Amino acid sequence: MFGIESTGIYHLPLYDYLTKRNYQVRVFNGLELCGMRKSRIRKTKTDPIDARLIAGYLLMCFDKDKRSPVPFELRNLREFCRIRERLLRKSTRIKNQLTRDLDLVFPGFTGVFSDILGKKCLMLLEQACTPTELMNMPKEVLRKYVPEKKVVELKKISACAIPASNFNKSIVFEIGSLCRQAKCILEEMLRVEKEIDSEYSQIKTPLQSVPCIGPGTGPVILAEIGDIKNFDHPKRIVGFAGIDPVIKESGKSRKECRISKRGSASLRCALYQAAFAGITCNPVLKVYYNKKRSEGKTHRDAVVCCARKLCYIIYSVLSNNRVFYVPSHIIASNAQMNKQD
């Protein structure tokens, strides 16, 4: 038997090599080994010491918990989903920087557009990104990028704008650079979306039958969970997603803090998005959301509770390999709520 510390992606080649040769392998979370290491009196940390810790921990819990990494058929899907996530983060950084630059050289411009990374907006910025350039642009040309109402608004803003002209040249250069980067990222996003759709469509899973889990959140949830056999109870998925409440108890004092946020951040985000959609389109989550709201929970806390409930639904669907169905008592509750509305 072999024990390996989970080190991002770096343990996967060795794991694949050993499992293909029918060796038993246990992958340990780094937090588990860190807790073992802190139990030692000495603070020394070396590779031999870590190896002994893994060997000792392996003997203690090998038969108790045999968790394997994401199955081979889901690895490409997971990586494509994470590529999309990284591209979204890059897009957000570009949007923030572009907003900052435009507020310097063209105050008021960002208030006209709902999304400054939109295709038409980026094309306009490449042609004119200062009040002077936009004032000199004929209305006929401006109408190619924005409707008539916004043409008038932009012309009015251009006439009143007072830019910070002391470093206008450098900021204008950066705006052009950011626009080119944004266009490139948008093109890559389209390519990644096609790859995700292609990979997800090849996988037959009952997860697609759950209302509120769509083509955006479904691939992420399926890929991050991996093999459902790794979880012997829905609470394990809740903990793996980091949406379990942190409870601090001492004597008669008991305090329930916020969620732990330990585990897969991608899964946690996808579950929250799916639960947010589920309070309107999933009958089970709709009833559960209203129940939590009636108990005094805030909207956000109730959505988090629905995300936990969704983990139980996902576990039932995947572990039993059956499509989602709405229990009869939920149908009755929804019918009653509709009558009250």
Rounded to 5 degrees, what are φ and ψ at 207? -60, -30
* Percentages of the chain per state (helix, strand, coil), in multiples of 5: 65, 5, 30
* Shared domain check, 91 and 132: yes
Q: Are both 215 and 336 inside the same structural domain?
A: yes
Same domain as 49, residue 80: no
Q: Do residue 49 and residue 159 come from a single domain?
A: no
| Domain co-membership, 37 together with 80 | no
The reported pLDDT for the residue numbered 34 is 75
152 to each of 114, 149, 155, 157, 161, how far by Cα in Å? 17, 6, 5, 9, 14
Cβ neighbours of 285 (radius 10 Å): 28
Indicate the helix (H) or strand (E) that contains 176.
helix 168-201
Q: Residue 77 corresponds to which amino acid? A: L
Strand boundaries in the chain, DSSP class E = 2-5, 25-28, 245-250, 253-259
Predicted confidence pLDDT, tens digits, the chain (341 residues): 888 888 777 888 888 888 888 888 888 877 777 777 777 767 777 888 788 888 887 877 655 555 666 777 788 999 999 999 999 999 999 999 999 999 988 989 999 998 999 999 999 999 998 888 899 999 999 999 999 989 999 999 988 888 766 667 889 999 999 999 999 999 999 999 999 999 999 988 999 999 999 999 999 999 999 889 889 899 999 999 999 988 777 777 777 778 888 889 999 999 999 999 999 999 999 999 999 999 999 999 999 999 999 999 999 999 999 999 888 878 887 777 766 66
Q: Which of 201, 224, 244 is at the close of a domain?
A: 201
Q: Which residue has the tokens 């450098």?
A: 170
Q: Verify that 226 and 326 share a domain, yes or no.
A: yes
Residues 258, 139: Cα–Cα separation, whole Å? 53
Regarding whether 106 and 17 lie in a shared domain, the answer is: no
DSSP string, 118-172: SHHHHHHHHH--SHHHHHHS-HHHHTTTS-HHHHHHHHHHHHH----GGGHHHHH
User: 250 - beta bridge partners?
Assistant: 253
CB atoms near residue 286 (< 10 Å): 20
Q: What are phi and psi of 256, to 5 degrees?
A: -100, 110
CATH code for position 178: 1.10.287.4070
φ, ψ of residue 27 in degrees (nearest 5)? -100, 125
Domain total in the chain: 3
Bin 29: left if φ > 0, else alpha if -120 < ψ < 50, else beta.
beta
pLDDT at residue 332, as a whole number:
80
From CA 293, how far away is CA 130, in angstroms rounded? 49
DSSP 29: P
* Half-sphere exposure in the Cβ direction for 305 (13 Å, CA): 19
Q: Which long-range contacts (CB under 8 A, 24 or more apart) does 167-175 make?
A: 167/104, 168/105, 168/130, 171/101, 171/104, 171/105, 172/105, 172/129, 172/130, 174/97, 174/101, 175/98, 175/101, 175/102, 175/105, 175/125, 175/129
| 80 and 154 belong to one structural domain | yes
Residue 132 is predicted with a pLDDT of: 87
Of 53, 69, 85, at which residue does a domain stop? Answer: 69
Q: Is residue 323 within 8 Å of residue 209, measured between CB atoms?
A: yes
- Residue identified by tokens 């690895």 is 75
How many angstroms separate the CA atoms of 77 and 207, rounded? Answer: 15
Print the domain residue range for 18.
2-69
Q: Exposed e or buried b for every residue in 246-258, given b needs 16+ CB within 10 A?
A: eeeeeeeeeeeee
Domain's final residue, options 201, 228, 249? 201
Q: Which of 33, 28, 61, 62 is nearest to 45 (CA)?
A: 33
Same domain, 40 and 93: no
Say how many residues make up the chain: 341
pLDDT at residue 249 in the model: 75
Pair 6, 88 in one domain: no
Q: Are residues 146 and 219 in the same domain?
A: no
Which pLDDT score is estimated for 72?
A: 76
Amino acid 65: pLDDT: 54
Could you tell me if 44 and 115 lie in one domain? no
pLDDT of residue 324: 92
pLDDT of residue 66: 58
- pLDDT score, position 24: 82
